[in-house]
Every structure is written in structure tokens, then in C-alpha cells.
Amino acid sequence: GENVEQHPSTLSVQEGDSAVIKCTYSDSASNYFPWYKQELGKGPQLIIDIRSNVGEKKDQRIAVTLNKTAKHFSLHITETQPEDSAVYFCAASPTFEGGSEKLVFGKGTKLTVNP
């Protein structure tokens, strides 16, 4: 089955710096790659996603890049702010069975933005 590896597990940056989180996946059939942000005591919240027919997508300070040949995708956060501190999860969807995308998640990256 699909396996998603996420690095690093923890990341500490200074406010205003950029942060990059990387994920690799194993199933070449995966075609949907969302990123989620999880704050303490809350459920994951989608922040950006990309499908395999595009290589990059941006939304203000957040961008995701996808390299299907190498089977990896990355989250880029620019001009980080303390409120960006959270746990970030990547995911990949290897199948679309029975009318649902079945996501496989990475183990998460705890991002700390120091003021």
C-alpha cells in the first residue's frame, strides 16, 4: 500500500524566515496531495492541496510543489508568523474506491516560529 514519509519531524524558525516541509510517497498512482494544519486540541484543517496535473500552487504565504517523477511534494511557508506554529501533516491519495478518496498521512511536522 501507499507509504508517506514526512521530514523533518520538528522545525524551529525565527519569525519572518521561511519554512519548508518535505514529503515522499511510494505509490505512483497517487494523484491528490493535501496539507493540513493542526493546532493544539483541534482537528486538522486543510491549508492547501494540489492535484497531479499541476506542479505548483500558491495561496498568499503558502505554496506547495509537486515532483511526480521523484514522488515528492513540499510545503513552503514564507514570512512565518508566530500563529503559524502548529503541527503540519501531508497526505497522499492512492485510490478512489467506492466514491471516496482514501488519504494516507505522514507522521507530522511540529513547526515552532520564535518571535
Partner 1 sequence: NAGVTQTPKFQVLKTGQSMTLQCAQDMNHNSMYWYRQDPGMGLRLIYYSASEGTTDKGEVPNGYNVSRLNKREFSLRLESAAPSQTSVYFCASSALEGRGPQHFGDGTRLSIL
Q: Which residues bind partner 1 (CB under 8 A)?
A: 1, 4, 6, 32, 34, 36, 41-46, 49, 89, 91, 96-108
CB of 32 to partner 1, least distance (A): 8
Buried b (16+ CB within 10 A) or exposed e, 5-44: ebeeeebebeeeeebbbbbbbebeebbebbbbbeeeeeeb
Minimal distance, residue 49 CB to partner 1, in Å: 6
- Minimal distance in Å, beta carbon 106 to partner 1? 5
DSSP 73-96: EEEEE-S--GGG-EEEEEEEEEEE
Which of 1, 115 has the CB closer to partner 1? 1
Residue number with CB closer to partner 1 (15 or 59): 59
